[in-house]
Structure 1
């Protein structure tokens, strides 16, 4: 097997894969675990910094409903249409001036005004200028009665997936999750994916909190898609000499250590397992998989197993001891030997 040392470097020995390429075997030790945690923290911090920019003021968009009031001229209120006392459905827009598909609104005496991309105070000043030739000292207020132009999409393991409207208050990551009813019991809070402009940003909420990063500083923008993955999709395969080979599922915080996975598989089989031959195979479907080794015979190794975090689709394999391997080889050879003896007897 590989040479044991206290560093996180790759050991000189390797295991060949099906193509004959030697796969380096890395010992699981304190230095390796520390390096992995630092790399994960840096990657998570880098992703967070790209998403923490505060969006600018809300701008009017296509589909928004504006409430434009000109004071001391109640006759212009008729342009808003009938004013119902109650809204029949939550999806029904408020009464007002709807921004059309070209981004325009029509207002009495002014005609067509392009409102898309303007803030409410900018549109207000524009209407004042256009109304001055018709009125002496007009007073106009503009507010958005219904926000319908900007929205984000939330799906996956939340109680009420679907679209959520963005209003004049910037929407944070936590607010978006709360609007969607919060996480379900099967949600993996360490595997959120925010898709923006064709780029996927993985988010790990427990790690962010552990590193002192405030997830409420992540603001969503119109067109963003937030997907919350299920813990079942983040399972780890545990096989070999364990009492019940299984697909180990992460905890509610999304974490799954090597010791957690072994525990879910009923621990090592005391009669057949070789505790010195515990392996973690990572990226088995990739061109360059990684292979980690742990000698689990000492109590100290259990501390390492408790600190070594597994990743989705890792494979944990516990090899058999010498007696088990000899028994398996014997079971393979005996049929061939018996067949050879039978053939010899028949030929005689």
Structure 2
């Protein structure tokens, strides 16, 4: 029986030496994870899909530059040299011939210009006295004025004609999501940019994610940031909108990060309107578990950009140095980031003991009972 006890002790020592078989939620300190230069030549390397970075001033400066220079696709930057509104079906024109009130339908006290004007029909035409039926779809108001003037000159000497759009109803943008008044908004003869459209909709709500505005144009989605416009003065983000553009402002609750491992409480966190730093995420989840965590093993797992030659970026913070917490407060998390705090080596051994103690206790108590009985 004593030989059996010795066997159990030997197994315990073997398990103590081998951490890779220890159950629990932790990552093995293989080379690259902890960026220990003394261990780089040992063990198996990380797969090519992973790239590891230490959270330091260089990473923070790089992240800050990336945040200040979110690229805007070239196709969104294309704008006409001169902006001019082209009329279409549904628009209402107001045509005035000065000195000839009989040719101008008066608005009157009970009728607005939109009600009394010349409606552009679905086929793109309007009718006007002495001018007849003309197709004006896709024309500028100055071109329509010249056309009406030319035809009226056959009947009126030197006619003075003015043409304006009384109601813009042909071209619209669609605004949905976290704004005060979602709906359809017309594009007018005044250029409509991103912040103009948001202002027309009453501004964003308190639950809006202003870093994640989705523009859908011709079936393709683009992501824009109101934060860069308001806080950093980015003119590129304030794009010129076109007819049938759809703007969707997502709620901030749709953007989450996940905090796992040896923390006070593993959970998913909602990103705030101004983002979330690594220090804030750890603090909200109770911080490190002082008895069980390894402060040198704080990791952020992030999906790499599509153009990268790897799939996952891993950022490591060595929080054993209290000064590193300042870096944590400057490291901004992104949507769907995973924060992971590893377990301390002693904790891994304690988990082994939890498995061995019941069996060893039973065995030792049984041996002790036999010894007592033999006496």
TM-score range with shorter-chain normalisation? 0.7 to 0.9
- Indicate conservation of the 8 Å contact 2:229/2:237, yes or no: no
Q: Distance in 2 between matches of 1:213 and 1:24?
A: 31
The gaps in structure 1 that reach 5 residues or longer are 342-348
In the TM superposition, what whole-angstrom CA distance separates every residue of 1:1-49 from its partner, at most 9, and x where no partner exists? 436489xxxx8899889xx7663322211112222332343333x4599
The structure-2 alpha-carbon separation of the partners of 1:72 and 1:210, relative to structure 1 and needing over 3 Å to count, comes to: closer
CA distance in 2, matches of 1:225, 1:176: 11
Q: Distance in 2 between matches of 1:293 and 1:52?
A: 40
The separation in 1 between residues aligned to 2:90 and 2:69, in whole angstroms, is: 41
Q: How many residues get paired?
A: 325
Could you tell me whether the CA contact under 8 Å between 1:14 and 1:25 is conserved in 2? no
Give the deviation of 1:250 after TM superposition.
Answer: 2.4
Quote how far apart the aligned CAs of 1:240 are: 1.4
- 2:144 corresponds to 1:123: yes
Larger Rg: 2
* 1:250 aligned partner: 271
**Match of residue 345 from structure 1:** none
Aligned match of 1:146: 167
What SS class does the counterpart of residue 242 from structure 2 fall into? coil
**Distance in 1 of aligned mates of 2:119 and 2:303:** 52
**8 A Cα contact 2:126 2:136, kept in partner:** yes
Please point out which of 34, 58, 65 is paired with 1:38: 65
Contact 1:246 1:264 in 2 (8 A): no
SS in 1 for 2:196: helix
The equivalent of 1:156 in structure 2 is 177
Does the alignment pair 1:321 with 2:341?
no
2-side partners of 1:155 and 1:333: how far apart? 59
Higher RCO (CA 8 Å, separation ≥ 6 residues): 2
Could you tell me how far 1:51 is from its partner in structure 2?
A: 3.6
Give the gaps of 5 or more residues in structure 2. 1-28, 364-375
Assess, with a 3 A threshold, how the Cα gap between structure 1 residues 14 and 68 changes in structure 2: closer, same or farther.
farther
Aligned ranges 1:209-248 → 2 under 5 Å:
209-214=230-235, 217-248=238-269
In structure 2, the residue matched to 1:267 is 287
Contact 2:216 2:245 in 1 (8 A): yes
Query: Equivalent residue for 2:210?
Result: 189
Are residues 12 and 37 of structure 1, via their aligned partners in 2, closer, same or farther at CA, if it must alter by over 3 Å? farther
Contact 1:280 1:292 in 2 (8 A): yes
Mapping of residues 1-348 of structure 1, within 5 Å: 1=29, 2=32, 4=35, 23-44=50-71, 46-47=72-73, 50-51=76-77, 53=79, 56-78=83-105, 83=108, 85=110, 93-214=114-235, 217-253=238-274, 255-283=275-303, 288-332=311-355
CA distance in 1, matches of 2:42, 2:67: 27
Output the aligned Cα RMSD. Answer: 3.3
Tell me how far apart the structure 2 counterparts of residues 319 and 194 of structure 1 sit (CA, whole Å).
39
Structure 1 window deviating more from structure 2 (190-199 vs 149-158): it is 190-199
| TM-score, reference length from structure 2 | 0.76
TM-score by length of 1: 0.82
Does the 8 A contact of 1:16 with 1:22 survive in 2? no
Deviations 1:141-198 (A, max 9, x none): 1111101011111111111111111111111222211111111111111111222233
Tell whether the 8 Å contact from 1:64 to 1:148 is kept in structure 2 after alignment.
yes
Per-residue CA shift, 1:88-117, capped at 9, x if unaligned? xxxx94321111122111111211111111
Note the C-alpha offset of 1:241. Answer: 1.4
